[in-house]
Amino acid sequence: GYGLEVGLVEEISRLNNVIGLKDSSGSLQYIMEVTRVLGRDLSVLVGYDEITIPALMFGAKGAILASANVIPEVLVEAYEKVISGDYEGALSIHERIYELTRIIARYGGILPAKLGLKVRGLDVGPARSPLKACDLLKAEISNSIGMAVKMALSSTP
């Protein structure tokens, strides 16, 4: 399975200093199960960009994401749509940002996020080692990142 067994998470959640769980497994099924069992006692945060909006719709309370560095205003809009019950609007945003979140999830977050920021006009410099050695990856995804960021920032899917 993915992540810690739900029973173990339930035990750990009883500790006074545990208030949440960040799950980066990418398993929407796991997040759904943890929130179903522990949603009232534990804040579940999604850490896998590609499933963020569906995870929020199924009970995750927030997210910690590389894509939030690149398109924060879009993710805030999606979050607000989910908490207001506008699931259709949230899913529309999910479709719009899916390519960007897919690239970020598949290629490890940091390098795609830096490339995405550069597309937005914010050059945050090169990655440090060992990611610095990823020039081949950079060349492979830089065009895709550019198109994905533009799509994510557009107002239509």
In this predicted model, what pLDDT tens digit does every residue of 48-84 receive, in sequence order? Answer: 999 999 999 999 999 999 999 999 999 999 999 999 9
State the pLDDT at residue 135. Answer: 60
Q: Give the whole-angstrom CA distance, residue 90 versus residue 2.
A: 26
State the pLDDT at residue 132. Answer: 62
State the pLDDT at residue 1. Answer: 57
What angle in degrees, to the nearest 10, is found between the helix axes of 110-119 and 87-106?
110
State the pLDDT at residue 101. Answer: 95
State the pLDDT at residue 149. Answer: 94
State the pLDDT at residue 134. Answer: 62
